[in-house]
């Protein structure tokens, strides 16, 4: 009897730990009632008041009710009362019982791509995100961190570039139906798709009862907004329409930029603050090339500042966003530890680059013959992404070397692979660096030091297992910040970008982490 009572008490503790809100109060009451019954039965049986047959029946009935309540607690996966991780603990294959509801457009339209990336679905119910913010299942617009006004630009500026055609006077696709959303083109185009994810997120913020962060919400009146968002798919426009076709004298990319400048310059919203409260995504280094000078007073969402003069783009006003990584995301359970990663240093990509990227060629000749180094040419084609994913996941350190511009997708591929990034790019700017210390999970090496014979390998070999493991564990914690998802989830890439915009507006930023990048790496190696 005492053992059964202890089991009931323990089950009560478990249910209480999973309970979220008052909707599970009935389950708590069931366990409290059963606990009370067994306590009474234990006392009464000691006094021989109840016959043993009656006690047996009551025990059986109570256990049946307990089991029934437990199954009820688990089975409502559509509006799950417990987190998905707990649910998967009980059921090996939860998909056999629960249907997936809020699905990424890429899952329904480019299923192979998303399965490679391992993008999670949007039904998590943790109370706090990675930064400690409240995570509400449904956003209360009055409590949104950032109020965003988005122009209703004609489809030719955004989803029309994806060959989407709505009905007459329809500006936007129906974002409540993920399987009907136009997909973003794959390959290298996808790495600069930030404009697509931010636009979708704003559109979805006006759909009721959607499980997404309460960070950014779209408002219909520009005077109520903290920021005015310009939904021009500038990277896609450059990638697809920058070259002349047939008898064209002016490419569509330039035509759209000219139209955009004319539209914005004529708006009262722009004139009010000369565009300083506007947000424009220009993530591809060559996107918005014709219009950027005329619109430079706006805030830009960029990959880096490599092709912008400082008066046009800088950290004081603009936001650095991560590339969408190309390799699949490694789950924490499948991430190889130090001793199982046979390759010390990994790099695969274009070796001969212009400008600051000349360092790649120098490093290639320094490292190519080292036995525990993989340094080869690679491309997206010929199964290149699959090879890179496998190689990074089996390496301790992954080189992120400056190319034609200071940044590249390779850094975010390394993070997704839990391969400690080695950043050799003196002019690089990093996403969210005002709140993330990249020295916790990256190694920074100045270009002038990296090209010294023996310097780089001696530095990396000096990082022992315990230090590497600490960085590896941190990588697994922060990898979620670089995942683009639909619907967005707390602390994923979309949510983190909106948070960065909010911080930029409020003027909250810090240069401490940027100033101590190299000192931290040297101190760690020297054991200080």
Residue range 304-336, pLDDT digits in tens: 999 999 999 999 999 999 999 999 999 999 999
Q: How far apart are CA 387 and CA 251, in angstroms?
A: 36
CA quadruple 463, 469, 472, 474: dihedral sign = negative
Instruction: Give the per-residue pLDDT at 352.
Output: 79
Name, in order, each residue with C-beta under 8 angstroms of 115's C-beta and a sequence gap of 6 or more.
none
**pLDDT for 118:** 32
The confidence score (pLDDT) of residue 160 equals 97
pLDDT-based confidence at residue 403 (cuts at 50, 70, 90):
confident
Residue 381: its pLDDT value, please?
61
Residue 15 is predicted with a pLDDT of 47
Average pLDDT over residues 31-36: 52
* pLDDT given for residue 143 in this prediction: 87
Which whole number is the average pLDDT over 4-22? 46
- In this predicted structure, the answer to whether residue 340 has a pLDDT above a threshold of 50 is yes
How far is residue 323's CA from residue 283's CA, in Å, rounded to a whole number?
8
CA neighbours closer than 13 Å in the CB half-sphere of residue 504 = 27
Mean pLDDT of 211-233: 96
What percent of the chain is predicted at pLDDT more than 90? 60
Closest CA to 374 of 353, 390, 355, 357: 390
Q: What is the mean pLDDT of the chain?
A: 80
Output the pLDDT for position 179: 86
Output the six-digit token pair for 323.
């590339």
User: Residue 419 in contact with residue 396, Cβ under 8 Å?
Assistant: yes
Residue 377: predicted pLDDT? 86
- CATH code linked to domain 332-483: 3.40.50.2000
The whole-number pLDDT of residue 443 equals 98
Q: Which one is predicted more confidently, 97 or 308?
A: 308
pTM of the model: 0.73
**Residue 349: per-residue pLDDT:** 87
Q: What residue spans in the chain does CATH classification 3.40.50.2000 cover? A: 332-483
- Is it the case that residue 84 has pLDDT exceeding 70? no
pLDDT at 358: 86
What pLDDT shows up at residue 354?
67
- Asked whether 295 and 275 are in contact (CB, 8 A), the reply is yes
Please state the φ and ψ torsions of residue 229, each to the nearest 5 degrees. Answer: -95, 135
Coil/strand/helix, residue 324? coil
CB atoms closer than 10 angstroms to residue 141 = 12
Task: Output 116 or 55, whichever has higher pLDDT.
Answer: 55
Question: Residue 383 corresponds to which tokens in the numbers above?
Answer: 């199964």
**d(C-alpha 526, C-alpha 424), whole Å:** 20
Token pair, residue 116, equals 């490679």
* pLDDT number for residue 477: 98
Q: Beta strand 343-349 with 395-401: parallel, antiparallel or unpaired?
A: parallel
Strands 395-401 and 420-424: parallel
Residue 475 has pLDDT above 60, yes or no: yes
pLDDT tens for 115-125 read: 233 333 232 33
Paired tokens of 79: 């509006």
Q: Examine the pLDDT at 78 and tell me if it is beyond 60.
A: no
Model confidence at 32, pLDDT cuts 50, 70, 90, reads low
Please give the share of the chain, as a percent, with pLDDT higher than 70: 68
Q: Does residue 480 carry a pLDDT above 80?
A: yes
Q: 24-38, 209-223, 405-419 — which is least confidently predicted?
A: 24-38
Burial (CB count <10 Å: 0-12, 13-18, 19+), residue 160: middle
pLDDT of res. 85 = 33
Q: Is 516 exposed, middle or buried (0-12, 13-18, 19+ CB in 10 A)?
A: middle
For residue 53, the model assigns a pLDDT of 58
Q: How many CB atoms lie within 10 A of CB 230?
A: 24
Quickly list H helices, 76-192.
84-90, 105-109, 111-117
Per residue in 121-137, pLDDT (tens digit) is 232 333 334 443 444 45
pLDDT surpassing 50 at residue 448: yes
């Amino acid at each position: 009897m005492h053992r059964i009572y202890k089991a009931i008490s323990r089950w009560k503790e478990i249910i209480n730990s999973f309970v979220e809100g008052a909707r599970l109060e009935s389950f708590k009451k069931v366990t409290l009632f059963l606990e009370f019954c067994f306590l009474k039965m234990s006392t009464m049986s000691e006094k021989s008041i109840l016959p043993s047959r009656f006690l047996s029946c009551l025990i059986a009935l109570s256990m049946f009710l307990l089991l029934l309540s437990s199954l009820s607690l688990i089975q409502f996966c559509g509006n799950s009362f417990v987190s998905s991780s707990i649910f998967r603990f009980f059921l090996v294959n939860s998909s056999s019982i629960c249907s997936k509801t809020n699905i990424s457009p890429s899952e329904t339209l480019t299923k192979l791509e998303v399965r490679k990336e391992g993008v999670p679905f949007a039904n998590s119910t943790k109370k706090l995100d990675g930064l400690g913010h409240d995570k509400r299942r449904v956003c209360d617009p009055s409590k949104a961190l950032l109020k965003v006004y988005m122009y209703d630009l004609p489809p030719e500026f955004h989803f029309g570039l994806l060959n989407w055609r709505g009905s007459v006077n329809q500006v936007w696709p129906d974002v409540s139906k993920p399987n009907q959303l136009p997909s973003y083109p794959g390959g290298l185009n996808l790495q600069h798709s930030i404009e697509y994810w931010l636009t979708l997120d704003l559109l979805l913020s006006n759909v009721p009862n959607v499980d997404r962060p309460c960070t950014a919400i779209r408002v219909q009146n520009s005077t109520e907004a903290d920021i005015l968002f310009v939904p021009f798919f500038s990277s896609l426009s450059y990638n697809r329409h920058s070259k002349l076709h047939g008898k064209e004298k002016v490419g569509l990319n330039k035509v759209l930029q000219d139209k955009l400048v004319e539209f914005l310059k004529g708006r009262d919203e722009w004139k009010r603050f000369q565009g300083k409260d506007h947000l424009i995504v220009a993530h591809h280094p060559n996107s918005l090339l014709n219009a950027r000078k005329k619109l430079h007073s706006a805030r830009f969402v960029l990959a880096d500042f490599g092709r912008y003069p400082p008066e046009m783009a800088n950290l004081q006003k603009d936001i650095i966003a991560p590339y969408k990584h190309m390799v699949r995301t490694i789950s924490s359970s499948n991430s190889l530890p130090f001793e199982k990663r046979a390759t010390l240093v990994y790099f695969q990509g274009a070796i001969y680059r212009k400008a600051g990227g000349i360092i790649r060629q120098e490093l290639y000749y320094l490292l190519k013959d080292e036995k525990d180094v993989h340094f080869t040419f690679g491309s997206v084609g010929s199964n290149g992404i699959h090879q890179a994913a496998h190689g990074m996941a089996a390496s301790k350190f992954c080189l992120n070397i400056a190319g034609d511009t200071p940044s590249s997708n390779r850094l975010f591929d390394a993070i997704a692979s839990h391969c400690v990034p080695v950043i050799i790019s003196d002019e690089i700017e990093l996403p969210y660096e005002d709140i993330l210390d990249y020295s916790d999970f990256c190694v920074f090496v100045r270009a002038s030091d990296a090209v010294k014979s023996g310097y780089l390998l001696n530095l990396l070999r000096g990082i022992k297992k315990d230090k590497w493991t600490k960085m590896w564990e941190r990588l697994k914690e922060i990898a979620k910040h670089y995942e683009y998802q639909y619907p967005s989830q707390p602390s994923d890439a979309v949510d983190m970008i909106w948070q960065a915009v909010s911080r930029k507006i409020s003027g909250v930023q810090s240069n401490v982490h940027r100033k101590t990048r190299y000192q931290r790496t040297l101190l760690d190696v020297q054991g200080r």
